Amino acid sequence: MAPRTRTGSGCLSRGLLLLWALLGTGQCHMGAEAEPFSQDARTSSPVRALNWTAQLVEEMYTNNTQKCWEHFVNLMSNVTTSELCEWKVISRPYSMLQECLEAWAEYLQYGYPNALAEQYIFQSHHRYFHNCTVEHRVLFDPPEDVLLALIIAPICLIPFLVTLVIWRSKDGKAQP
């Protein structure tokens, strides 16, 4: 038996999704007589089908992202409380959640980042990582007046040192 080769690039699955959406809304009836197109039919029917399809895509994305969240919660149940803030431990489940949310958005052409994906990310931080603090001190820029003094001091010191070198070398004697 010959191996099956993959044909197409996913357009077939999108076409089937659209056909399913049309069958589900009653836009496509088998055995019904075709009505002549009027101006209203040409403009209103595709828009109505597109809106319903958008609702379907949103519903599918919502259902699939809920499964992503459940998988993340399952993975995080294996992490102890003391390990919740260790990136080596949580990076895999966290990255899997993000990749799952992004992959479903791309597959359904839903757009990423989106409000639902952000909600899951915020929920993960609120539920698991809200007690994580930085172990070492975060360094900040100094105040502007201190920064200005640190910049101007060497600039003013250079002409003084150049003047001192020139003044000491004027007597012409070689210094040992």
Q: Give per-residue pLDDT as tens, 137-175.
A: 667 888 999 999 999 999 999 999 999 999 888 866 655
Q: What is the pLDDT of residue 68?
A: 95
Give Cα separations from 131 to 69, 85, 125 (angstroms): 20, 8, 9
Does residue 72 carry a pLDDT above 50? Answer: yes
Domain spans in the chain, listed from the N-terminal domain onward: 65-130
**Cα atoms found within 13 Å of the Cα of residue 61, Cβ hemisphere only:** 24
Q: What is the pLDDT of residue 55?
A: 87
Which is higher by pLDDT, 30 or 135?
135
Given this structure, which CATH class describes domain 65-130? mainly alpha
Q: Which residue has the tokens 């966290």?
A: 94
Does residue 22 carry a pLDDT above 70? Answer: no
Q: What is the pLDDT of residue 176?
A: 55
**What does the mean pLDDT of the chain come to?**
75
Does residue 122 carry a pLDDT above 80? Answer: yes
Share of the chain above pLDDT 70, in %: 64
Q: What is the pLDDT of residue 170?
A: 80
Structure tokens at 112: 């990423």
Which is higher by pLDDT, 83 or 32?
83
Q: What distance in Å separates the CA atoms of residue 7 and residue 14, rounded to the nearest whole number?
A: 14
Structure tokens at 68: 């992503």
Does residue 26 carry a pLDDT above 70? Answer: no
Give Cα separations from 1 to 4, 92, 107 (angstroms): 9, 40, 32
Question: What does pTM read for this prediction?
Answer: 0.49
Does residue 10 carry a pLDDT above 50? Answer: no
Structure tokens at 123: 């929920």
SS3 92: helix
